[in-house]
């Protein structure tokens, strides 16, 4: 039975969100266990508010005396807080006591700790942050969303391989299409790193469909979109900001006067259906991909529903054996990559 | 009286859009003249369809025998098509026969031709593409939107100075706030170029407010947002793609069944008010800033209303003397920039 370690103290709301979400998750998934990591008293207080004795049997509490602050420098969190709820949750994965861990805490700290404790998979230089975004036709997995501000062409190819394996294993798509984010479809466009990555991807065994542009993401042009972490972070936050502005403008128009308020009441179910279709809570749970362990990052401001989805994401990755799938895909790429000779010295060289 | 040279053949629709837009512009602006550049017959045919003899007096036609194709490599357009409508329109600015030129044609070709013919202003290494985006509170000018895929920190500072001068002169804001697009507000975030640019901006005479993130653009956190052309292009196209997807989802919900269609009829004026608030046609007209001449690029797919707005943008820049304002701002920066000594060898060094 898969065990998920939860950093119960992480995020803006801590145990008041993580504990009810853990129980809600266990109610919907019968074959799973949860270890809540953090301040025992705070966790017990939240557990006491909830009935459901049946799912309580599948919950364990593991004490951790420290908490990583949301704005704490990752290096400090890594070096000084050896007993933080985040660190202990990641340790449980390392020690085999849990199959995955989920945290809504500080992203940089989670990445630093996970990388230090779990290490990267063979053939992967650096882990990336991957998340699914809604598109006109299904979802698209985009990576990297902010872990790596400077990427080499080889790293972009590794992201492509990991993203492809993730989508293949979770969505059951045999050969997911991979697009390289660029500023034009033509080969001559873009900077040197992107041009080189395109050449490597063409020569790889991945189902590379070429360059895609910003608007292709929401058109659902490819199953996977690859970019460096600076660009990925900007596009993710720009999207969040634009969606929020549009909702506010829509709300402003519907609350302008008596007539529009009446109109809003008439169309309320329609507006709610629209909103639920792109509810960011449905997409909560970004994967820290490329590590020797399943680590899922929830949005810091996640509510119970959103955090439950992040737990579900971690569970699904464990159930589908994504780690094996990624390792397998990377090994295949080494076998066929130009200049790759399987000893880790080719373009997809192993992490030193 | 300001004269605007129009590349009448540019864009997806050519004279069928550019000619009616030119007349519509002249109807609303009495103190302006237009030179339509391109195929004389095609232009005459469109002019014949329109009455308004009063504004016709302020229209001149200049023949040009070639047209730059939308997908033509910029270098080819520059070298081989010396008599293209785009080239001749830019030449008119160079020769002082026009005060500005507007084209809906191939962006790369327009940039290459404008740079070759007009040259950059003193102190500017490379021109940038700047455009206003709607935000919750007024507009924000974002640059570069795609002209420069690799930028140095010094170039980002030049973009900041140009953007600041543009907003100061057009919107009448004394000291526009400038934000540097990054993936976190903290100084330690981002790549080396962005970190160095932040240091230079802090030491400059600009009203620098620090790092801004993707979601700050639509919050209207700063009057100007600076980024490299790769990031700018991705954020612009991602925004277009997301807005389009949201409109389609909204439409889909309102056309789902008889009840929702009725609801849509009730709220039609509200939805139209919402749509017009962020109508991309209102924001048509990106400035190629940093050249010794006013050059405005219209969206290739612009309709008459959108192209009219691009013409209005060019006219406004001429009226407000933006070129002088930019030159002045750059000169001021040289005077106070750390290491700058006014001879063009400081961080804001002159173009070689």
Domain ranges within chain A, ordered by starting residue: 3-118, 123-285+321-352
Q: Which single residue is written with the structure tokens 């080819």?
A: B76
Partners of residue A234 in chain B, C-beta under 8 Å: 181, 183, 213-214, 227, 231, 234-235
Q: Say if B3-118 and B122-289+321-352 have the same CATH topology.
A: yes
3-state secondary structure of B291: strand
Partners of residue B278 in chain A, C-beta under 8 Å: 246, 249
Two structure tokens written together for B163: 């953007």
Partners of residue A245 in chain B, C-beta under 8 Å: 134-136, 218-219
Two structure tokens written together for A283: 């997409």
Q: Give the nearest partner residue to A250 out of B150, B237, B274, using CB atoms.
A: B274
pLDDT, tens digit, 9 for 90 and up, residues A78-129: 999 999 999 999 999 999 999 999 999 999 999 999 999 999 999 999 999 9
Q: What angle do CA B155, B156, B158 make, to 5 degrees?
A: 60
**Is the Cβ of B145 closer than 8 Å to some Cβ of chain A?**
no
Partners of residue B237 in chain A, C-beta under 8 Å: 183, 213-215
Output the CA torsion sign for B115, B121, B122, B125.
negative
CA distance A131 to A10: 19
Strand duo B100-103 + B3-7: pairing? parallel
The beta-strand segments (E) located in B58-145 are 59-63, 100-103, 128-134, 139-143
Partners of residue A236 in chain B, C-beta under 8 Å: 214
pLDDT at A51: 76
3-state secondary structure of B209: strand
Looking at CA atoms only, how far is residue A342 from chain B in angstroms?
32
Confidence of residue B254 (pLDDT cuts 50, 70, 90): confident
Q: H/E/C letters for each residue in B240-289? A: HHHHHHHHHHHHHHHCCCHHHHHHHHHHHHHHHHHHHHCCHHHHCCEEEE
CB interface of B with A, residues 200-239, below 8 Å:
213-219, 227, 229-231, 233-239
| Burial call B202-239: b when 16+ CB within 10 Å, e when fewer | ebbebbbbbbbbbbbbbbbbbbbbbbbbbbbbbbbbbb
CB contact at 8 A, A225 and A201: no
Q: Give the nearest partner residue to A249 out of B217, B244, B277, using CB atoms.
A: B277
The beta-strand segments (E) located in A3-84 are 3-7, 33-38, 59-63
pLDDT, tens digit, 9 for 90 and up, residues B201-220: 999 999 999 999 999 999 99
Cα–Cα distances in Å, from B79 out to B84, B87, B123, B328? 11, 10, 26, 33
Partners of residue A149 in chain B, C-beta under 8 Å: 183, 189-191
Cα–Cα distances in Å, from B295 out to A78, A236, B6, B85, B143? 52, 31, 10, 14, 15
Q: Which residues contact A49 (CB under 8 A, 6 or more apart)?
A: A20
3-state secondary structure of A308: helix
Residue among B246, B241, B250 nearest B270 (CA): B250
Q: Please name every residue paired with B37 in a beta bridge, in sequence order, or none if there are none.
A: B7, B62
Q: Taking CB atoms and an 8 Å limit, are A239 and B244 in contact across chains?
A: no
CA distance B41 to B43: 5
CA distance A212 to A214: 7
Q: Which residues contact A11 (CB under 8 A, 6 or more apart)?
A: A17, A18, A103, A104, A105, A298, A299, A300, A301, A302, A307
**Level-2 CATH architecture, domain B122-289+321-352:** 3-Layer(aba) Sandwich (3.40)
pLDDT, tens digit, 9 for 90 and up, residues B156-178: 999 999 999 999 999 889 899 99
Please name the fold of domain A123-285+321-352: Isopropylmalate Dehydrogenase (3.40.718)
3-state secondary structure of B298: coil
CB contact at 8 A, B162 and B151: no
Strand duo B128-134 + A128-134: pairing? unpaired
CA distance A279 to A272: 10
pLDDT at B339: 47
Partners of residue A155 in chain B, C-beta under 8 Å: none
Residue among A316, A215, A272, A306 nearest A18 (CA): A306
Output the CA torsion sign for A168, A171, A175, A179.
negative
Cα–Cα distances in Å, from B257 out to A65, A270, B271? 56, 11, 18
The CATH number that domain A3-118 falls under is: 3.40.718.10
CA distance A17 to A3: 19
Low-confidence ranges of chain A (pLDDT < 70): 185-188, 336-352
The beta-strand segments (E) located in chain B are 3-7, 33-38, 59-63, 100-103, 128-134, 139-143, 177-181, 207-212, 224-226, 286-289, 294-297
Sheet holding B100-103, edge to edge: B59-63, B33-38, B3-7, B100-103, B294-297, B286-289, B128-134, B139-143, B224-226, B177-181, B207-212
**B50 vs A169: which has the higher pLDDT:** A169
Q: What angle do CA B118, B120, B123 make, to 5 degrees?
A: 155
Q: Give the nearest partner residue to A183 out of B71, B146, B219, using CB atoms.
A: B146
What residue in B sits closest to A277 (Cα-Cα)?
B249
Residue A291 burial class via C-beta count within 10 angstroms: exposed 0-12, middle 13-18, buried 19 and up: buried
**Is the Cβ of B241 closer than 8 Å to some Cβ of chain A?**
yes
3-state secondary structure of B226: strand
Looking at CA atoms only, how far is residue A324 from chain B in angstroms?
32
Q: Taking CB atoms and an 8 Å limit, are A253 and B274 in contact across chains?
A: yes
DSSP secondary structure code for residue A201 in this structure: H
ipTM of the complex: 0.86
Q: Is the peptide bond before A347 cis (omega within 30 degrees of 0)?
A: no
| Burial call A54-67: b when 16+ CB within 10 Å, e when fewer | ebeebbebbebebb
- Does residue B321 have a pLDDT over 90? yes
**Residue B135: half-sphere exposure toward Cβ, Cα within 13 Å:** 22
**Is the Cβ of B272 closer than 8 Å to some Cβ of chain A?**
no
- Does residue B347 have a pLDDT over 60? no
């Amino acid at each position: 039975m898969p065990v998920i370690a939860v950093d119960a103290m992480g995020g803006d709301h801590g145990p008041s969100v993580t504990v009810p979400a853990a129980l809600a998750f266990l109610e919907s998934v019968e074959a799973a266990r949860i270890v809540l990591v953090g301040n025992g008293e705070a966790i017990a207080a939240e557990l006491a508010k909830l009935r459901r004795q049946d799912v309580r049997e599948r919950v364990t509490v593991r004490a951790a005396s420290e908490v990583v602050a949301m704005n704490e420098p990752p290096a400090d969190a890594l070096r000084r807080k050896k007993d933080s709820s985040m660190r202990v949750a990641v340790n449980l994965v390392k020690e085999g006591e849990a199959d995955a861990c989920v945290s809504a805490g500080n992203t940089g700290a989670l990445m630093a700790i996970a990388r230090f404790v779990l290490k990267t998979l063979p053939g992967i230089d650096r882990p990336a942050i991957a998340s699914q975004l809604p598109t006109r036709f299904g979802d698209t997995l985009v990576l990297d969303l902010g872990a790596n501000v400077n990427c080499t062409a080889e790293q972009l190819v590794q992201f492509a391989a990991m993203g492809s394996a993730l989508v293949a294993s979770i969505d059951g798509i045999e050969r997911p299409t991979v697009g390289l984010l660029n500023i034009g479809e033509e080969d001559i466009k873009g900077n040197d790193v992107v041009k080189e990555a395109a050449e490597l991807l063409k020569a790889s065994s991945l189902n590379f469909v070429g360059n895609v542009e910003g608007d292709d993401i929401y058109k659902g042009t490819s199953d996977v979109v690859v970019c460096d972490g600076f660009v990925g972070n900007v596009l993710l936050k720009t999207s969040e900001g634009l969606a929020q502005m549009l909702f506010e403008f829509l709300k402003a128009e519907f609350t302008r006067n008596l007539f529009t308020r009446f109109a809003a009441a008439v169309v309320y179910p329609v507006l709610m259906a629209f909103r639920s279709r792109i509810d960011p809570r449905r997409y909560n749970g970004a994967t820290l991909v490329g590590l020797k362990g399943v680590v899922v990052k929830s949005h810091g401001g996640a509510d119970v529903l959103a955090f439950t989805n992040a737990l579900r994401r971690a569970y699904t990755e464990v159930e589908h054996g994504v780690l094996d799938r990624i390792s397998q895909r990377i090994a295949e790429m080494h076998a066929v990559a130009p200049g790759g000779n399987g000893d880790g010295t080719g373009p997809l060289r192993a992490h030193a």
